[in-house]
């Protein structure tokens, strides 16, 4: 299962990708799906669910703000998202 | 051809800069931060790497505070007009470029020019001064202002300190923490060896800045108001990805060559040039206030010659590129006392050679003594 963390800018998302990589977490910047984007266009970082809490902990010690977190799951071949509490 | 106009723009760039620009345009130049396809993401990576490289080069902790602009003029306009309002008091050095003085005039700021003697260590300001703007290295005579001392003064007195590093970036070490810089503006295409169409603006966290341009940022698109997050707040519209990637390669080249080594090479070339010029009668050298000329540029005149006519003659007759005139900095010429004549500016690059210097000196000697 993957998680999407939404950020305010493509720059912030890229910074997160590089920051968590230092902790061995694989993250990938993607364009946030429109149905979960908090306010129109945004960029997210996709991570494995197992890394979610570690990533949140790392970012809580930085100036990077997470705008939203969603769990990705599939129903009948369709990708859906469930919002998580950070 | 001899190119001695590196203060206007550096003509020779590292091979890696040319290759990067071409490769990015040919293979990767999607629109960064606009969409999720592979070229958009690749472009975003290129821009991000450049941001990181710039941040590291200037000791900037937060990579988001590095904003890319079209040139130093844009960066200075953003920094000035985004922060300063009508009648706000601003203290500037006597070497400011029109890129500083014209925006200040346009917004009706209350501008005071500090005496030249104050640039080294002290400044005297009244209590309501909002910003101090200092040209780190004069584009006319290479005068260096002690930004660290002035920045320290500004910090102690809660005054925003803005540095125009258009001429110094890529020549002299700059660290925004050590030098107490709140806002830094510089070109990407001069000492940093990037392509034209690139500039950098750093704005410290806590500085309240308004954008001059609003528009698409690829973020918060449903909101009518411009996003407040950096760098998006100051980067509306498609970025110059190829240029920014080239700028990144320029800085990486400097890091590899060594900033101190590059600076020392420029100083040695300049020493050779000035030593030779001093031996030619009729040549007037406009020193900075110290007796040595350490940086990569110097202004001269040759008795009996109009400065622009001499620069034109050097180009047409000898293929030498120097700049004559006021260098878009009439305030600096006023400070130097050359407002009625202008000067011929010779600005070197570490790519120049001692053979070029000697050839140039022979030409000037011939012009001064024979023609």
Give the model's pLDDT for residue B336. Answer: 87
Q: How far apart are CA B270 and CA B4, in angstroms?
A: 11
Instruction: Work out the angle at residue B172's Cα, subtended by the Cα atoms of residues B168 and B175, and round it to the nearest 5 degrees.
Output: 95
Instruction: Tell me the nearest-neighbour CA distance from A13 into chain B, angstroms.
Output: 10
In this complex, is the C-beta atom of A15 within 8 Å of any C-beta atom belonging to chain B? Answer: yes
Instruction: Tell me the nearest-neighbour CA distance from A46 into chain B, angstroms.
Output: 12
Give the model's pLDDT for residue B114. Answer: 87
Q: What is the mean pLDDT of residues A8-16?
A: 95
**B51 vs B48, B244, B272, B293, CA distance in Å?**
5, 9, 36, 33
Other beta carbons within 10 Å of B354: 11
How much helix, strand and coil, in percent to the nearest 5, is found in chain A?
A: 30, 35, 35
Give the model's pLDDT for residue A26. Answer: 97
Q: How far apart are CA B226 and CA B229, in angstroms?
A: 9
Chain A residues with CB-CB distance to B229 below 8 A: 8-9, 12
Strand B323-325 with B343-347, pairing: antiparallel
Instruction: Enumerate residue ranges in chain B where pLDDT < 50.
Output: none
For CATH 3.90.1150.10, the residue range(s) in chain B are 259-369
Give backbone dihedrals phi and psi of B106, rounded to 5 degrees, phi first. -60, -35
- At A30 the three-state DSSP class reads strand
Instruction: Work out the angle at residue B13's Cα, subtended by the Cα atoms of residues B3 and B145, and round it to the nearest 5 degrees.
Output: 75
Q: Which CATH architecture has domain B259-369?
A: Alpha-Beta Complex (3.90)
Q: What is the mean pLDDT of residues A54-81?
A: 93
Question: Residue B44 half-sphere exposure, CB side, CA atoms within 13 Å?
Answer: 28
Give the model's pLDDT for residue B290. Answer: 52
Chain B residues with CB-CB distance to A15 below 8 A: 48, 63-64
Give the model's pLDDT for residue A86. Answer: 82
Tens-digit pLDDT profile for residues A46-61: 999 999 999 999 999 9
The DSSP secondary-structure symbol of B285 reads E
Are B222 and A39 in contact (CB < 8 Å)? yes
Give the model's pLDDT for residue B206. Answer: 96
Please name the residues in contact with A8: beta carbons below 8 A apart, sequence gap of 6 or more: A42, A65, A67, B219, B220, B227, B229, B232
Name the CATH code of domain B15-257 (choices 3.20.20.80, 3.30.980.10, 3.40.640.10, 3.40.50.2300). 3.40.640.10
Give the model's pLDDT for residue B35. Answer: 86
Please name the residues in contact with B17: beta carbons below 8 A apart, sequence gap of 6 or more: B193, B194, B195, B246, B247, B249, B250, B253
Are A42 and B220 in contact (CB < 8 Å)? yes
Structural domain containing residue A65: 2-83
- CATH code for the domain in which residue A20 is found: 3.30.70.1530
Instruction: Tell me the nearest-neighbour CA distance from B108 into chain A, angstroms.
Output: 34
B87-103 burial code (b ≥16 CB/10 A, e <16): ebbbbbbbbbbbbbbbb
Give the ipTM: 0.86
Please name the residues in contact with B163: beta carbons below 8 A apart, sequence gap of 6 or more: B133, B134, B136, B147, B151, B174, B179, B181, B183, B184, B185
Give the model's pLDDT for residue B118. Answer: 58
Tens-digit pLDDT profile for residues A15-45: 999 999 999 999 999 999 988 986 678 999 9
Give backbone dihedrals phi and psi of A40, rounded to 5 degrees, phi first. 85, -150
Give the model's pLDDT for residue B369. Answer: 87
Give the model's pLDDT for residue A52. Answer: 95
Chain A residues with CB-CB distance to B36 below 8 A: 30-31, 43
CA nearest to B314, candidates B326, B304, B325, B323? B323
Instruction: Work out the angle at residue B165's Cα, subtended by the Cα atoms of residues B113 and B307, and round it to the nearest 5 degrees.
Output: 70
Interface of B with A (CB under 8 A): 32-36, 40-41, 44-45, 47-48, 51-52, 62-64, 205, 217-223, 227, 229-232
Give the model's pLDDT for residue B119. Answer: 57
Task: Choose among A14, A40, A63: nearest Cβ to B48.
Answer: A14
Q: How far apart are CA B88 and CA A35, in angstroms?
A: 46
Task: Choose among A9, A18, A63: nearest Cβ to B219.
Answer: A9
Could you tell me which chain A residue has the CA closest to the CA of B205?
A63
User: Is B230 buried (19+), middle (13-18) or exposed (0-12) by CB count in 10 A?
Assistant: buried
- At B286 the three-state DSSP class reads strand
- At B52 the three-state DSSP class reads helix
For CATH 3.40.640.10, the residue range(s) in chain B are 15-257
CA nearest to B100, candidates B128, B131, B126, B69? B131
The DSSP secondary-structure symbol of A24 reads T
Task: Choose among B45, B52, B227: nearest Cβ to A8.
Answer: B227
Counted domains in chain A? 1
Are A43 and B219 in contact (CB < 8 Å)? yes
Q: Are B89 and B70 in contact (CB under 8 A)?
A: no
Q: How far apart are CA B279 and CA B296, in angstroms?
A: 19
Q: Which of A6, A10, A37, A79 to mutate to test the interface with B (most CBs of B within 10 A)?
A: A10
In this complex, is the C-beta atom of A6 within 8 Å of any C-beta atom belonging to chain B? Answer: no
Other beta carbons within 10 Å of B308: 14
Q: Which of A11, A15, A42, A63 to mutate to test the interface with B (most CBs of B within 10 A)?
A: A11
In this complex, is the C-beta atom of A29 within 8 Å of any C-beta atom belonging to chain B? Answer: yes
Instruction: Tell me the nearest-neighbour CA distance from B40 into chain A, angstroms.
Output: 10
Provide the number of CB pairs (under 8 Å) joining chain A to chain B: 67
Give the model's pLDDT for residue B176. Answer: 98
CA nearest to A16, candidates A47, A50, A49, A48? A47
Give the model's pLDDT for residue B370. Answer: 78
Q: What sign for the dihedral angle of Cα A6, A11, A12, A13?
A: positive
């Amino acid at each position: 299962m993957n998680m999407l963390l939404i950020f305010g800018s493509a720059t912030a998302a890229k910074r997160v990708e590089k920051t968590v990589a230092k902790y061995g977490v694989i993250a990938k910047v993607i364009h946030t799906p429109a149905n979960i984007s908090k306010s129109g266009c945004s960029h997210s970082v996709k991570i494995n669910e197992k890394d979610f809490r570690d990533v949140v902990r790392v970012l809580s010690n930085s100036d990077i703000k997470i705008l939203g977190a969603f769990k990705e799951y599939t129903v009948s071949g369709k990708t859906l998202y469930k919002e998580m509490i950070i | 051809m001899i190119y001695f106009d590196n203060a206007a723009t550096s003509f020779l760039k590292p091979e890696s800069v040319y290759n990067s620009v071409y490769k990015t345009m040919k293979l990767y130049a999607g629109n960064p931060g606009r969409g999720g396809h592979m070229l958009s993401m690749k472009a975003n990576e290129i821009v991000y790497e450049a941001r990181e490289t710039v941040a590291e080069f200037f000791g900037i902790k937060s990579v988001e505070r590095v904003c890319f602009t079209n040139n130093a003029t844009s960066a200075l306009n953003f920094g000035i007009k985004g922060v300063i309002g009508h009648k706000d008091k601003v203290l500037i050095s006597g070497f400011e470029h029109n890129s500083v003085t014209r925006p200040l005039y346009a917004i009706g700021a209350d501008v005071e020019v500090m005496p030249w003697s104050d640039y080294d260590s002290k400044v005297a300001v009244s209590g309501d001064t909002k910003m101090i703007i200092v040209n780190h290295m004069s584009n006319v005579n290479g005068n260096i202002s002690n930004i660290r001392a002035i920045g320290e003064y500004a910090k102690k007195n809660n005054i925003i300190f803005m540095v125009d590093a258009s001429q110094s970036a890529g020549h002299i070490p700059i660290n925004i923490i050590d030098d107490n810089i709140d806002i830094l503006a510089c070109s990407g295409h001069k000492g940093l060896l990037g392509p034209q169409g690139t500039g950098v603006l750093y704005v410290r966290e806590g500085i309240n800045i308004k954008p001059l341009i609003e528009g698409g940022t690829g973020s918060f698109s449903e909101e009518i108001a411009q996003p407040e997050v950096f760098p998006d707040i100051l980067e509306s519209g498609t970025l110059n990805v190829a240029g920014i990637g080239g700028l990144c390669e320029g800085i990486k080249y400097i890091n590899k060559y060594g900033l101190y080594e590059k600076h020392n090479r420029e100083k040695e070339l300049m020493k050779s040039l000035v030593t030779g010029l001093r031996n030619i009668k009729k040549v007037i050298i406009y020193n900075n206030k110290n007796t040595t000329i350490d940086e990569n540029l110097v202004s001269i005149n040759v008795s009996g010659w109009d400065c622009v006519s001499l620069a034109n003659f050097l180009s047409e007759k000898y293929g030498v590129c120097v700049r004559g005139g006021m260098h878009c900095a009439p305030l600096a010429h006023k400070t130097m006392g050359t407002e009625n004549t202008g000067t011929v500016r010779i600005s070197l690059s570490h790519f120049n050679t001692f053979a070029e210097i000697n050839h140039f000196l022979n030409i000037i000697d011939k012009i001064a003594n024979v023609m």
